[in-house]
Amino acid sequence: MKKEAGYRPGFYGKKRQSPDQWVDNYFKKWAKEEAEKKQAVKKPIHFPTISFSRQIGVGALEIADLLAQTIHYRVVDREIMEHMAEDANLSVKLIELFDERYPGRINEWLAMITREKAFIKSDYARQLAKTVTALAATEPTIFVGRGAHFILPWDLNLSVRIICSKKYRMDRLANLLNIDRSEAEKHLDRFDKEQKQFFKTVFQKEEAASDGFDLVINRDYFKDAVHVAKIIACAFEQKFGSEYILSSETSG
């Protein structure tokens, strides 16, 4: 049976929670943790993050999920960030949860980021920055998309750029959606245009320049997603140390 031809960035066949489900489940989890920790407020542990920037259709979300199995971080994808950035109440609620544990700390971070990141000018950019900063502050996180690497501080983030040829992306998308290559190319052209416009509008950037990343991987030469995830896990350990690679018991 032929699959639906519709495509959204990040899709690779794995069933994922909807943004509404993800947010609801995590707020319940955070609320439970806060209730348990109110009696013992401690100095925050700044877990480093990983941010993926990618060309649409390159398979970054699949790699992020595989990486998460190794270092036991959660994955926050483009849909979740968009969902929270477009709903100011969700970001406010998230910041309030963090602020209960560390009063004033999140606002200090946001003020620092706003000063240092000159591109954060529009209401949406500020809201996106709040969302990404608050998510990074509450739990060890792998971000996929939405220019998170522009927002997060370099010394607390491993920024990874995943690229490949258009042919690789066309072949992958055509196979994933069971469509012909010409239709896949139309999808990619549209998404590339939208992504370029997003970077220009939100971050005043024409493109994600390779010299702005810790690591750039070309999937034309590293086709196995498992191998790519291992490379990134190794780079993460080299930059931050093995103490930040969590066990399944720690992350659970």
Domain count, the chain: 1
Whether 72 is covered by a domain: the verdict is yes
**What integer pLDDT is reported at residue 113 of this predicted model?**
64
**What integer pLDDT is reported at residue 252 of this predicted model?**
58
Query: Do residues 57 and 188 make contact, with C-beta atoms less than 8 angstroms apart?
Result: yes
**Helix and strand counts by DSSP (H, E) for the chain:** 11, 5
The pLDDT tens digits along the chain (252 residues) read 444 456 667 677 777 888 888 887 877 787 777 666 655 545 445 789 999 998 888 999 999 999 999 999 999 988 888 887 777 777 677 767 666 666 666 667 666 666 666 666 677 877 888 888 888 888 899 999 888 998 888 899 999 999 999 999 999 999 988 999 999 999 899 988 988 888 888 888 777 777 889 999 999 999 999 999 999 999 999 999 998 888 766 665
Q: Which two tokens stand for residue 206?
A: 């024409």
Whether 160 is covered by a domain: the verdict is yes
Q: Give the global pTM.
A: 0.77
Whether 29 is covered by a domain: the verdict is no
Q: Which two tokens stand for residue 216?
A: 């750039």
Whether 36 is covered by a domain: the verdict is no
**What integer pLDDT is reported at residue 28 of this predicted model?**
79
Query: Do residues 184 and 177 make contact, with C-beta atoms less than 8 angstroms apart?
Result: yes
Q: What are phi and psi of 141, to 5 degrees?
A: -135, 145
Query: Do residues 124 and 146 make contact, with C-beta atoms less than 8 angstroms apart?
Result: no
**What integer pLDDT is reported at residue 82 of this predicted model?**
81
Whether 68 is covered by a domain: the verdict is yes
Whether 57 is covered by a domain: the verdict is yes
**What integer pLDDT is reported at residue 210 of this predicted model?**
78
One-letter amino acid of 33: E
The end-to-end CA distance of the chain, in Å, is 38
One-letter amino acid of 125: A
Q: How many CA atoms lie within 13 A of 104 on its CB side?
A: 0
Owning domain of residue 134: 46-241
Whether 118 is covered by a domain: the verdict is yes
Q: Which two tokens stand for residue 156?
A: 């607390």
Query: Residue 152 is part of a domain; what is its CATH number?
Result: 3.40.50.300
Residues 6+ apart with CB under 8 A from 31: 97
Name the burial class of residue 57, with classes exposed (0-12), middle (13-18) and buried (19+) by CB atoms within 10 angstroms of its CB.
buried
Whether 152 is covered by a domain: the verdict is yes
**What integer pLDDT is reported at residue 170 of this predicted model?**
93
